[in-house]
Amino acid sequence: MKQRLQRSLVIKPFSHVLKTPIASSLTYNWNVGSMLGIVLILQIVTGLLLVIAYTNDASISFQSVEYIIREIQRGWILRISHLNGASFLLVGLYYHIGRGLLYSSFRLWKVWSTGILLYLIIIGEAFLGYVLLWGQMRVWGAAVITSLVSVVPFVGESLVLWIWGGFIVNSATLKCFFILHYLIPLVVLVIVILHILFLHETGRTSSRGSIDSELKVKLHPFYIYKDSLNILFFGIFYLICFLYPFSLGDCENLKEANLMSSPVHIQPEWYLLFIYAILRAIPNKLGGVVALLIRIVVVWALIFISWNFQRNYLKMNSHILRWFIVVVLLLTWLGRCPVEYPFVTIGQVCTVTYLVIVFILFLIRFIL
């Protein structure tokens, strides 16, 4: 009798979740959320397994990663999955945020706020993990990015030295980054749980722009089967891992870091190139950091706008987002280009266009 009671307590909540009513007009664009959850679990599991053989010391960090790939059985699969999983996670996040902008998901202010917070934390987490491999481009990229903290008034220079643990990026920096990279996923998991709870509390926006005023269907079987198509995504993911494992990275990172010789052209991973291009396009370091903060604050501040949904909004917003994607792709390409004419000029034009589009996405709510 006691066992039956315990079993019913477990089955009832699960069956309740499967019967959750969801808008019938959700398209495959909403699959990205569940896909991101799976990729996040993949990153955490592979990271926990990799950390067993990783050494967070600048003198042997690079060799420990080589040891994992060459000597540990199936270690190369873990290493390649974790490496490319970061790229796929960020791609999914960008797509998820873009879909939210298109269909006005910011109306669900709790869901939108936790989502933007997750994006910022995962960007930081990706940067910390990027440095841990102690490759040539990674170390010099860490020196450039962490030096941005120097723009903080009065204490900026001291903060940089504190983060580095000395006057240059060294073993102390690596150990600090390793500890943070290991602990931050716990924070990410908590925020993800809150994000999902808020989503079930308020409901989802749909491709028709509504939240609650339309026909509902049960989560199972309609959307469980639809989410199962994520298997195709992982087929593409492991196709890249097996055939082109290092195609998304920089060849400079296949060399151990040398603090006495910097690369000719320092650049971050491809998913941060558009951010780097914006920083580089503004001559003043403080101005570049402020521009990056503005782009985040404006997108988050959409939650404070109250407006009534109109049909012509989706069409206009889709056109604006297409231009936005084109500008982001141009900035990503410019991030790989050398700092010389005409790339600097094009980068400045694209940066201004990027910020203008962000403000248009904000102001259009007052027009419609």
Report the CATH superfamily, name and number, of domain 22-264. Cytochrome Bc1 Complex; Chain C (1.20.810.10)
339-351 pLDDT, tens digit per residue, is 888 888 898 899 8
CATH of domain 267-368: 1.10.287
Burial class (CB in 10 A: 0-12, 13-18, 19+), 244: exposed
CA distance 345 to 281: 8
The two tokens of residue 194 are 């809150």
**Amino acid present at 342:** P
Output the pLDDT for position 363: 73
Q: Where in the chain is the domain with CATH 1.10.287?
A: 267-368
Q: How far is CA 190 from CA 31, 114, 151, 338, in A?
A: 21, 10, 31, 41
Angle (nearest 5°) at CA 105 between 91 and 236 = 25
38 within 8 A of 221, measured Cβ to Cβ = no
Q: What is the pLDDT of residues 59-100, one digit of tens each?
A: 888 889 889 988 888 889 999 999 999 988 998 899 888 888
**Cα distance between residue 223 and residue 228, in whole Å:** 8
pLDDT of residue 366: 60
Q: How many residues does the chain have?
A: 368
Q: Which residues of 253-286 are buried (b: 16+ CB within 10 A; e: fewer)?
A: beebbeeeeebeebbbbbbbbbbbbbbbbbeeee
Beta-bridge partner residues of 21: 218
| Region(s) of the chain under CATH 1.20.810.10 | 22-264
The pLDDT value given to residue 121: 93
CB 321 within 8 A of CB 98: yes
**Would you write out the chain's pLDDT as a tens digit for each of its 368 residues?**
444 544 444 444 545 555 555 665 566 677 788 888 889 999 999 999 999 888 888 888 888 988 998 888 888 999 999 999 998 899 889 988 888 888 777 778 888 899 999 999 999 999 998 888 888 888 888 888 888 888 888 888 888 888 888 888 888 888 989 999 999 999 999 999 999 888 877 666 655 555 544 556 666 666 666 667 777 778 888 888 888 888 887 777 888 888 887 787 888 888 888 888 888 888 888 888 888 888 888 888 877 765 555 555 666 777 888 888 899 999 999 988 888 888 888 988 998 898 888 888 777 666 55
Spell out the alpha helix ranges (H) of the chain: 2-18, 31-50, 61-70, 75-102, 109-132, 136-146, 156-164, 171-202, 222-227, 230-243, 273-281, 285-300, 311-336, 343-367
Over the stretch 183-237, which tens digit does the pLDDT of each residue have?
999 999 999 999 988 887 766 665 555 554 455 666 666 666 666 777 777 888 8
